[in-house]
Structure 1
Amino acid sequence: MWVSKGWWWVAVGAVVVAAWVARGGDSPKTTDAPKAAATVETPKPSAPPKPSAEASTEWYRNYDPAQFAVPVRKAAGRAGVSPQLLMAILYNEDYKPHNPQLERSWQHLKPDAAFGIANMHRAAFDDTKRGRSFAGRNWDELPDHPELAIEAAAWHLHDLAARVPRRTGGKFSKDELLALGYNTGARNMRAFAAGAKPGSQAQSYLDDLHKNLPKATKAITG
């Protein structure tokens, strides 16, 4: 789920500039036509209901995982996993801008890139969705549907939990093992449970988890 930040921003910068130039830059705004001297005021229609985060792509502006506290609690409850852990993983995975257009542009450059706010790869999503309520959904929907990404991440953690050995070396808690499994895969998770030492990337992910757990807890309980 980890991506080199340097290459990401170089590629994203090129994509953004290219897209902006293709649109002709910032087009000037048109001015309003002069109002008639005498007008008849008509009642204004009531404002439509505010769209949910799932229905609008505006959620990615100033993105903060805390804005999805409600769907995180619901998805974690359905999957039987810790909502604090699920939220902390979303914080771990927020290192790149979760703009649907940019994610898809990056995917053209790197076809095996992860999608969505939980940075899930296609194989993980396809394995997780089997027999679930979102079995008919597709991996390429994740950038536009954060609540689907949260649901899939919750059930992926559920599936990883079923593969944690009953007896472990005791070095890591179950939630730590699940986070390591989310980042490095179930096979590595089981190796860590048996006493293997995490590499630098896995250890960095675990360190970030510890840093993010307090604000994840605040987001869930606040």
Structure 2
Amino acid sequence: MAGSRVRWRWLVLPGAALAVWAVSHTDHGTAPDAAPRPSTTSSAAPDAAPSATPGGGATTPRPDGAYDPADCAAAVRKYATAAGVHPRLLMAILYNEAYKPHDPALERAWQRYKPDAAFGVANMHRAAFDEVKRGRDFADRKWEELPDDRTLAVEAAAWYLHDLNRQLPARWPAGHTRDELLALGYNAGAGNMLAFARGTPPGGQAQSYLDRLHENWTQAGRAVAR
């Protein structure tokens, strides 16, 4: 989760709000195919740059509150390409971050209960968003807009990955690929990412995040190829 050293789990919301969510939401989780490791290239540029032209898909919340990361495929292709990161990596991170409901009303209700909660489909904390937006074309946007604007959430996540990528050295001794390190940085922060690059083994939570990235890799590839 961007801007947090420890990934928090989505806890049960107070009764009434959770009941509303249970009635009005559909589970969109699907079992992925056999998941290959993320790209082993040392460059963050896509192997073959996908089209940045929007190809359909909802980037604003659906009326029924349902959410599938693949809905954001057009925005993922556009902003990952602009930020110089792999669209497949960004999409896989969205799948990793889909562990909790991404309904705007529920996100805000949870934030009132847990003020340091993250917002948006990319689960970004306020400090991370305020940092990554500096000097960018969304500099005038507010963190509070993330639950309602999935395009903004995807754009911010893409540039956060870009900024993490700039901190990685040209080479590192650890056996992780660049995409794996960027995902670990997204989850655990830049300092931990650099420690993992130097050879420090990921802890249990970071390794779990990386394992899920591998599990989501195939469906992420299918989503951005649409």
Could you say which structure has the higher helix fraction? 1
Amino acid at match of 1:3: W
How far, CA to CA, are the matches of 2:113 and 2:148 in structure 1? Answer: 19
Structure 1's 81 and 183: CA in aligned 2 closer, same or farther, altered over 3 A? same
Deviation at 1:169, TM superposition (A): 1.2
Deviation at 1:3, TM superposition (A): 2.2
How far, CA to CA, are the matches of 2:14 and 2:157 in structure 1? Answer: 25
Moved >6 Å (runs of 4+)? none
Q: Does 1:66 align with 2:63?
A: no
Q: Does 1:3 align with 2:8?
A: yes
Give the greater-gyration-radius structure (CA): 1
- How many residues align? The count is 187
Find the counterpart in structure 2 of residue 129 from structure 1. 133
How far, CA to CA, are the matches of 1:72 and 1:59 in structure 2? Answer: 21
Amino acid at match of 2:200: A
Q: Secondary structure at the residue paired with 1:81?
A: coil
Is 2:88–2:220's contact at 8 Å kept on the other side of the alignment?
A: yes
How far, CA to CA, are the matches of 1:59 and 1:147 in structure 2? Answer: 16
How far, CA to CA, are the matches of 2:136 and 2:9 in structure 1? Answer: 32
* 1:192-222 Cα distance to aligned partner (Å, 9 max, x none): 0000011100000000000001100011113
Structure 1's 113 and 93: CA in aligned 2 closer, same or farther, altered over 3 A? same
Show structure 2 runs of 5+ residues with no match: 2-6, 22-55
Structure 1's 61 and 107: CA in aligned 2 closer, same or farther, altered over 3 A? same
TM-score by length of 2: 0.78
How far, CA to CA, are the matches of 1:164 and 1:73 in structure 2? Answer: 23
Greater relative contact order (Cα 8 A, min sep 6): structure 1 or 2? 2
Is 1:60–1:98's contact at 8 Å kept on the other side of the alignment?
A: no
How far, CA to CA, are the matches of 1:4 and 1:174 in structure 2? Answer: 26
Percent identity (aligned): 58
Cα RMSD over matched residues? 1.9
Q: Secondary structure at the residue paired with 1:202?
A: helix
Q: Secondary structure at the residue paired with 2:146?
A: helix
